[in-house]
């Protein structure tokens, strides 16, 4: 795609899941094909093609109460620095505006410098952490199967809006688990390269840490988790247990929040889903 050529933005369909996966894999992200199918079947995904090859994407995933998530902003290496990502985000914002949606996203530090001038306001911060295997084989708290309804109710309080459709889709996948223990709940699912834990919801940090510890000792890794930075006791506990911080994310919002969260989660479903 030559720099002087116009950028032709198209709306993608479910048949583009594999092509989207190629882009996110190139970027080293953890999404699998099932994740792409969520965006393509439940959201709006805009893309740019070059000679038939998908070279860029951005997704708008509507939730309830007039909220939506922007994510999967990807441009292949040889098509960058041409303003494509900005135009794709603008397409998502235009689609959200037509539907009266407040949009959210979780940005890398570099992305935050781009989204700020577009009108996005910072809210909370996240830290992505990775664990290959637990440090020791000490005994852990027992795990119980958790209820999807209970998880969705607690997630709604933490987010300020309902995401039961998304959580139900996650829970129905092979190898997904909803687990609970001592007033804490979490969803565990497969990613492309690592198992992902989140959201993690609990009354206290020690409950959340105990549940995460029991999860990672119940099966093999590697593991990823996206912890809320303001939950400092939880974050410090993860690092002490051997988790390594890989990168920060800044949560940002375009428009007014419909409702304030009743209680922050300890970890989120992922920067692509919120």
- Tens digits of per-residue pLDDT, 33-83? 999 999 999 999 999 999 999 999 999 999 999 999 999 999 999 988 888
> How much of the chain, in percent, has pLDDT values that exceed 90?
84
pLDDT for 133: 85
Band (pLDDT 50/70/90 cuts) for residue 228 is very high
The model scores a pTM over 0.85:
yes
pLDDT value at 179 more than 50: yes
Q: Locate 267 and state its tokens.
A: 């970890």
Strands lying side by side in the sheet with 121-131? 9-11, 44-50, 53-62, 67-75, 102-107, 244-254, 121-131, 223-228, 195-202, 184-190, 177-181, 144-145
- Residue 42: φ, ψ to 5°: -110, -10
Least-confidence region, from 78-82, 182-186, 196-200: 78-82
Show the domains of the chain with their CATH numbers: 9-100 (3.40.630.30), 127-254 (3.40.630.90)
d(CA 153, CA 104): 20
Structural contact between residues 46 and 10, judged by C-beta atoms closer than 8 angstroms: yes
Q: Locate 38 and state its tokens.
A: 């969520």
How many residues does the structure list for the chain? Answer: 274
Structural contact between residues 155 and 63, judged by C-beta atoms closer than 8 angstroms: no
pLDDT value at 1 more than 50: no
- Phi-psi label, residue 38: left if phi above 0, alpha if psi -120 to 50, beta otherwise: alpha
């Amino acid at each position: 795609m030559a720099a002087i050529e116009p950028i032709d933005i198209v709306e993608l369909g479910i048949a583009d899941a594999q092509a989207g996966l190629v882009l996110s894999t190139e970027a080293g992200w953890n999404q699998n094909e099932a994740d792409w199918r969520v965006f393509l079947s439940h959201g709006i995904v805009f893309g740019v093609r070059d000679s038939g090859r998908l070279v860029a994407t951005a997704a708008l995933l509507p939730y309830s109460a007039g909220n939506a998530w922007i994510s999967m902003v990807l441009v292949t290496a040889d098509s960058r620095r041409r303003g494509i990502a900005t135009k794709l985000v603008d397409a998502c914002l235009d689609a959200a505006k037509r539907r009266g949606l407040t949009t959210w996203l979780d940005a890398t530090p570099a992305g935050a410098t781009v989204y700020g001038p577009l009108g996005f306001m910072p809210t909370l911060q996240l830290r992505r952490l990775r664990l290959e295997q637990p440090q020791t084989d000490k005994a852990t708290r027992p795990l119980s199967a958790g209820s999807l309804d209970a998880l969705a109710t607690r997630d709604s309080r933490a987010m300020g809006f309902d995401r039961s459709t998304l959580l139900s889709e996650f829970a129905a996948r092979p190898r997904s688990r909803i687990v609970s223990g001592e007033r804490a709940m979490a969803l565990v699912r497969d990613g492309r390269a690592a198992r992902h834990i989140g959201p993690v919801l609990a009354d206290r940090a020690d409950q959340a840490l105990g549940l995460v510890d029991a999860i990672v000792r119940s099966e093999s890794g590697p593991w990823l988790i996206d912890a809320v930075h303001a939950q400092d006791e939880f974050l410090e506990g993860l690092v002490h247990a051997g988790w390594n911080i890989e990168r920060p994310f800044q949560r940002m919002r375009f428009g007014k929040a419909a409702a304030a969260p009743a209680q922050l989660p300890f970890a989120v479903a992922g920067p692509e889903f919120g």
